Copies of this chain bind each other. A is one copy, B any other.
Amino acid sequence: MAEGPTITTIAERAGVSIASVSRVLNGLPTREETVRRVLAAADELGYVPNAVARSLKSRRTLQVAFAMADIGNPVYVAMIRQIQPVLKAAGYRLVLHSTDADVAEEIDVLRSLGERYADGMIMSPLRVTDDHLKAITAARAPVVIIGSVPEGTPVDNVRADSGTGVRLALDHLYALGRRRIGFVDGPLDTVPGAARLAAYRDALHALGLPYDEDLVEIGDFYRTDGAAAAARLLRRAGDVDALMCANDLIALGAYDVLRRAGRRIPADVAVVGMDDTDLAAVAWPALTSVCLGSAERGRAAAELLLDRLRDRERPPRVVMVPPRLVTRASTEGGP
């Protein structure tokens, strides 16, 4: 693993200056003969340009960072699957950050953009604090947020409409004759947690159903927490005939609990998840889930970022991805 060839090596070998080498390699107009000699030398030496040196000079790293809470959640994988090819087509590499939804760590990641290791960042935070907003606007590289930020925040932003999503789900459950619809949510200090609970109340109201505290439980957006919360709910409100869950992992946790309690899905209790991850289709019975367009949101975020990198001055945009209910076996038939 000897030290690799640089344009200096090539220059010596070809008997020209490093400027000429650089010009040839970048396709700038050069005399035929020089081009030939340089390319030959480069080829013989197996030259590969040094990305770091190039970045230093050009002030672009051709890297984009993606920060999410937990790569174990298939939602983020779905996003990455779309983000990656879009970035790659534009010549960018993807740097990954898993933050565990830790606020301090997210702020840290944003601040780390000051090190200039990436030209921009896509971030999908669960919580959006004032510190986030400050860090985002102070960031030394463009940031695109997947998730809602306060109205008027000057930042490119891709949103799902989980409110409407919850509404779709509850309408569906209501149409099936379910009237005791429980709700298992994630933490209320997260953006989706708060939005989904509000949407749940609104949807009940619109349907003329009472809001019953016993039907609501708060856990976290993981399977085990979902299971624990569902268990508490079931203990308090044994007559529940449907469970709306704030994401698919929670729904799968609920599955476990319902089964252990001897409740049939969907005959006794219908279940709806959110995010429509791969898990929903794999689960049995297959899980009805509100598709919040993770894939589309990923792609949109990548495109927003690329546009932004091309033009820093353009006004920030908000892309809204509409929800869609994907009905499966977990909500078939009446009670």
Assess the B61–A71 pair: CB atoms within 8 A.
Answer: no
Query: Is A114 on the interface with B (CB-CB < 8 A)?
Result: yes
Interface residues of A, Cβ cutoff 8 Å to B = 1, 4, 46, 48-53, 55-56, 61, 63, 71-72, 74, 77, 80-81, 84-85, 93-98, 111-112, 114-117, 140, 252, 278-279, 282-285, 312
**A98 and B84: CB pair below 8 A?**
yes
Instruction: Note all chain B residues with C-beta closer than 8 A to A80.
Output: 71, 96
Residue among A1, A97, A252 with the highest chain B CB neighbour number at 10 A: A1
How long is the Cα–Cα vector from A50 to B77 in the complex, in angstroms? 30
Shortest beta-carbon distance from A109 to chain B in Å: 10
- Contacts A93-B95, A140-B4; A61 near B52 (Cβ below 8 A): yes
* Copies of this polypeptide in the complex: 2
The secondary-structure label for the interface of chain A is mixed
* Contacts A/B (CB < 8 Å), 5 sampled: A48-B114, A52-B116, A71-B80, A94-B95, A283-B284
- Which residues of B are found within 8 Å of A85, using beta-carbon distances? 98
Ranked 9 nearest A-B pairs via Cβ: A284-B284, A48-B114, A51-B115, A51-B117, A52-B55, A94-B96, A52-B56, A50-B116, A56-B56
Partner of A285, one of B51, B55, B116, B284: B284
